[in-house]
Amino acid sequence: MSNSDWDDNERSNDSHGEASKSRREIYAPERSEPLDDERREAADKSLLAFLEGYFKPAFPLEWSQDHRDVIEILQRVITDGGLFALAMPRGSGKTTITARAALWALMTKRRQFVEIVAGTETAAKKIIKAIKSELSWNALLRQDYPAEMHGLHQLRGDNRKSGGQICNGEKTGVVLGINEIVFPSHKYSPVGGAMVFATGLTGNVRGPNHTKMDGTVIRPDFVMLDDPQTRESATSPMQTEERIEIVEGDVLGLAGPGQSIAAVMPCTVIARDDLADRFLKHPQWQSKRCQLLPKFPDNMPLWDEYFEVRAEGLRVEKSHYPGNVWYAQHQAELEKGAVASWPARKEPTELSAIQSAMHLWYRSPSAFAAEYNNEPLDAGRFL
């Protein structure tokens, strides 16, 4: 090979190297200030404002008072530390709220290492996937937290692009994996190296730590214990005891000596005296047990008539209309004495939240007692 050929190869390699570097380079953010100062300032101070300002599609209905109470306690626990168990009716968004509260904790520097612990590893990965989606595609979040988000949204959810990412020629260390997220480290970001890690309760819970680009070692300081039991474990006293020991012995010791930990347990009571039921009664845990229908209607025999009319309409006319007409005519008497905790929760074909809750109850009183009212029935007991 001639000298000129060697020179051509060197120039070609340099050219490829520069091209590769250019593709990996994210440079400085276009701006470091929020697009909407008022929205960002409100969100930094208030978890409720953060949820309403950046995640409206995830929360399309008006909040219930239970939601507002839970969000207020979440903010206090994230800010000051502490333990909080919250049982909410199925479909109330407890996991969705808590996962985005974890983002608030990181983006506002209240916490720097979130560990998600769920009943199974699959469930934990599902939660971290939702967080990754927000970090990759949430335009409003990117507009108001441009420095914190810089380097994340460029990946477009693809972790394969993370390894070589550089900012002004220096590696950012960003990770967007299936069970971990590491915020990029660069001079523009106030939260560089913050981390989210996900695992199942019976998996690799104990002792995770993360070494940031500057050599600082961090350990979990906010734990999201999302439904840390399965239906099988909830009905097994032995499995329940094992899982309680893991929570108390392994999970709550994650922060290490001299550090305060914030732990939040969104849960559903599946059986009397299961893990959720016991932590909701634990004297060292703040707790809130929410019910979809805290008070049932006074005139239950009239509801039997309604369900007969509704069933006939569905069977003969294949329509909700006959049942709704009858319901509207007797609504005051049907709903007398009843209280629905979330007035906005109803289907388009339903007339009220009480009607909606009673439809769920009629389908299965025992399932409703556990999954929607968080007070499972005793064996053989029926409403």
Q: Write out the DSSP string of 196-265.
A: EEEEETTSS-S---EE-TTS-EE---EEEEES---HHHHT-HHHHHHHHHHHHHTGGGTT-TT---EEEE
Closest CA to 102 of 220, 218, 224: 224
The secondary element (H helix, E strand) that includes residue 143 is helix 139-144
Q: How many CB atoms lie within 10 A of CB 242?
A: 14
pLDDT of residue 209: 86
Per-residue pLDDT band for 153 (boundaries 50, 70, 90) equals: confident
Q: Which residues pair with 217 in a beta bridge?
A: 211
Residues 6+ apart with CB under 8 A from 174: 151, 152, 155, 162, 165, 182, 183, 184, 185
Residues 6+ apart with CB under 8 A from 195: 112, 113, 114, 180, 181, 182, 183, 210, 218
The token pair at 343 is 């007035």
- In whole angstroms, give the CA distance from residue 91 to residue 82: 26
CB 224 within 8 Å of CB 114 = yes
pLDDT per residue over 42-64, tens digit each?
999 999 999 999 999 999 999 99
pLDDT per residue over 181-240, tens digit each?
999 999 999 999 999 999 999 887 876 888 888 888 989 999 999 999 998 999 999 999
The secondary element (H helix, E strand) that includes residue 30 is none
- In whole angstroms, give the CA distance from residue 184 to residue 170: 11
Per-residue pLDDT band for 2 (boundaries 50, 70, 90) equals: low
Give the chain's length: 383
pLDDT of residue 207: 61
> Cα 329 from chain centroid?
41
**Which residue type, as a one-letter code, is found at position 299?**
N
Closest CA to 322 of 330, 312, 331, 332: 312
pLDDT, mean of residues 340-345: 98
pLDDT of residue 330: 98
CB 366 within 8 Å of CB 377 = yes
- The residue whose two tokens read 């407890």 is 94
Q: What is the Rg, in whole angstroms, of the alpha carbon atoms belonging to the chain?
A: 26
> What percent of the chain is modeled with pLDDT above 70?
92
pLDDT, mean of residues 25-31: 89
pLDDT per residue over 73-103, tens digit each?
999 999 999 999 999 999 999 999 999 999 9
CATH number belonging to the domain at 37-289, selected among 3.40.50, 2.60.40, 1.20.58, 1.25.40: 3.40.50
Count of helices and strands (H, E) across the chain: 16, 12
Average pLDDT over the chain, rounded to an integer:
90
pLDDT, mean of residues 344-364: 97
Listed in order, the ranges of the chain carrying CATH 3.40.50 are 37-289
Strands (E) located in 43-104: 82-87
Half-sphere exposure of 114 (CA within 13 A, CB side): 33
Does residue 34 surpass a pLDDT of 50?
yes
For residue 125, the 8-state DSSP code is H
> What percent of the chain is modeled with pLDDT above 90?
79
